[in-house]
Amino acid sequence: MSIDDFVGKWSLFSSDGFDEYMKELGVGMALRKMGSMAKPDVYIIKDGDTVTIKTESTLKNSQLSFKLGEKCEETTLDGRKVQTLITFDGNTLIQLQQWDGKESTITRKIEDGKLVVECDMNGCKCTRVYQKA
C-alpha cells in the first residue's frame, strides 16, 4: 500500500465518538453540535512529494498541505493553531498535532475500500469512516 491509495474524494459514511473527542479537544458545545451534524467530504491530493488534505462541509472548509516527515503549522477546523507532523507507516498515515503542551493523534488507513480515520486525545477516541465518492 502507498500514499497513492489514499488519493481521491471521500464522503463521510459513519462517525462514532466525535462529540466526546471534540469535547476533549476543548471545543465549545455550539461548535460541537454543528460539527457533529456536518457531513464533510475529504479530498486527498498528491502533487510530487506534497500531499494535501482538503476538508469541505456546509459548516467550514480547511486545507492542509504537507510533506511526509516534515513538521508544519496547521489551523484546525475548530480554530486551534497546532504543529503537525504526518508520517506514513506501512499502510497508515499518522498525524500528530501538538499545541499548548497538548497533543492529539489522527490515523488514516484504508480498510475494505473505505478510509478509516481514528482520532485520539488522552485516550478519548473517535472513529470516522469515509466512502470513496
pLDDT digits (tens, 9 = 90+) for 6-51: 999 999 999 999 999 999 999 999 989 888 888 999 999 999 999 9
This prediction's pTM: 0.93
Alpha-carbon gap, residue 68 to 55, rounded angstroms: 19
* pLDDT over 90 at 54, yes or no: yes
Task: Give the pLDDT band of residue 60 (cuts 50, 70, 90).
Answer: confident
CB proximity list for 71: less than 8 A, separation 6 or greater: 83, 84, 85
Q: What is the pLDDT of residue 72?
A: 97
Q: Which domains does the chain have, with CATH numbers?
A: 3-127 (2.40.128.20)
Spatial separation of the C-alpha atoms in residues 33 and 98, rounded to whole Å? 24
Mean pLDDT of the chain: 95
Helix (H) or strand (E) holding 21: helix 18-25
Angle between helices 18-25 and 29-37 (to 10 degrees): 150
